[in-house]
Structure 1
């Protein structure tokens, strides 16, 4: 009770940063559970189960917001392609978790702002100055270092890289959807697309889960659901330039869980590449915020 009272008294920036830190922790929890299940279960089945759980958890929110009337949209195709990109990204990340330490995948995934900046130039016609181009170039160097192409796991790292590219494209679709579409509606269609497409493959890939695995499936869905709520809350309370840099704390959590559960230590290339990606990403966030404030 005291914590709730304390939280309510804090500034919006404090609330936003706290929500983002909790969201990042939830992402790590989801990633760890996916890796635990991924030893025995297909990435498509994990994605299917995750989407089912999130859809169930969304139902009370959708009912409160207006039910079927709330779900009406004038942009069905954008929702579909946003959902498809997110679905492919999830499957590729789950494939990466099966083969790599969570920290390695997390480091590579931090390149989302770098890729999304490039995609915005290509598909949205945005122009960027030499400062952000420099940050993008340095960020790509960090990605190459983190992938460490000289070792055998480079092929597995491509799954993480592909997932990062897909998630970057979802940002472009979200920008095309604009502020007219409620975040809950966007998440609903994302999960609906995921369920509809992955259900096609279930007769061929389905493996009967044990009670323990069902709990992990539910845990993945709950973590994904909480992540969406917390990130939405964070971005409502403060600008992205303030909260987004805290997304990089996921690397710390990933390293901790890798060590506790699998006794895995990150390679120097992963840490060094992660530092470069983090610095580049934070600079891009800050630079974009400065340009928006000038406009």
Structure 2
């Protein structure tokens, strides 16, 4: 992976980590229905990126919609539903299932090869994440954890499918994903959620700030560049780098939310950082494309 793309991936992880902190701030302190928040986020994305819906449809448009469906509505639907009952620390651990699931799928369906050095780096970095987020008793069986696991199966499937649709503008992907998320969120929040007026009254500008941040830095920048990078590099090289998201989330939680800086955060970071660099450097660098 080139140095530029590595930095972009780290910034994507920063965006995702910041979203965890901001979402915890708004949803934890205010009674904001999660799909109401997702609806606001999708509306902002469509305001910024909706113009790309007017472009000619790509040749593999059906597969693009399938990717958007897996990464958007299916993943988010299962994720939001699972988070209603799943313990927070256990949810962080379950989310790391994305790495082995996507790696297995990439080997089976994309015929990717994962050498022993990259495999070792993935395992050690996963260990670092587990050290950072693990709390005794956190993995007690819960229906929400099963839904969370299924949500990351959907995300891994969509991520692998991204490799099969080259030459698609990432901005079209972002726009069409927002359309699907908008439809799902509108239906779900209207039918199953309540307290919208109270949430708006109590959250107000905070809801707008969080939704705007998620739209710009998560849906548009992070997800868009994630799509581009998965079209350029192997799945088994890109997805393990998302482990940095947990590191950013913990660091921002300490700096922004005044959370405790546990020693396990430092130990986990010391394991994750060098391994992520190894994972990024072990893959093949794509050829330079002429403009």
Q: Same fold by TM-score, threshold 0.5 exceeded?
A: yes
Of the candidates 3, 8, 24, which is equivalent to residue 35 of structure 1? 24
What corresponds to 1:55 in structure 2?
A: 46
Task: Give 1:7-86 correspondences, 5 Å limit.
Answer: 19-20=8-9, 22-39=11-28, 40-60=31-51, 62=52, 68-86=54-72
Q: Please point out which of 180, 183, 186 is paired with 1:196.
A: 183
Q: How many residues align?
A: 270
By how many angstroms is 1:47 displaced?
A: 2.0
- Which of 239, 251, 255 lines up with 2:250 in the alignment? 255
Alpha carbons of 1:193 and 1:278: their partners in 2 closer, same or farther (altered >3 Å)? farther
Preserved contact between residue 111 and residue 139 of structure 1 (Cα < 8 Å): no
2:110 corresponds to 1:124: yes
**Residue 223 of structure 1 aligns with which residue?**
217
Conservation of the 8 A alpha-carbon contact between 2:12 and 2:226: no
| TM-score (normalised: structure 2) | 0.69
Shift in CA distance, 119/16, structure 1 to aligned 2, threshold 3 Å: closer
Given the alignment of the two structures, is residue 171 of structure 1 paired with residue 150 of structure 2, yes or no?
A: no
Distance 1:246 1:116, change over 3 A: closer
Higher alpha-carbon deviation: 258-267 or 146-155: 146-155
Q: Distance in 1 between matches of 2:237 and 2:60?
A: 32
**Structure 1 stretches lacking a partner, 5+ long:** 1-12
Change in Cα spacing, 1:233 to 1:176, as seen in structure 2 (3 Å) is closer
Question: Partners in 2 of 1:121 and 1:17 — Cα distance?
Answer: 22
C-alpha change, 1:71 and 1:253, in structure 2 (3 Å) is same
Contact 1:54-1:191 at 8 Å conserved across structures:
yes
After superposition, the CA RMSD in angstroms is 4.3
Q: CA deviation at 1:37?
A: 2.1
- Offset at 1:78? 4.2
What is the SS of the residue equivalent to 1:151? Answer: coil
Alpha carbons of structure 1 residues 234 and 152: separation in structure 2 relative to 1, 3 Å: closer
Alpha-carbon spacing, 1:69–1:234, altered in 2? closer, same or farther (3 Å): closer
| Paired residues for 1:202-217 under 5 Å | 202-203=189-190, 204-206=192-194, 207-208=196-197, 209-210=200-201, 211-212=204-205, 213-217=207-211
**In the TM superposition, what is the alpha-carbon distance from 1:128 to its structure 2 partner?**
3.2
| Cα 1:73/1:31, change in 2 over 3 Å | farther
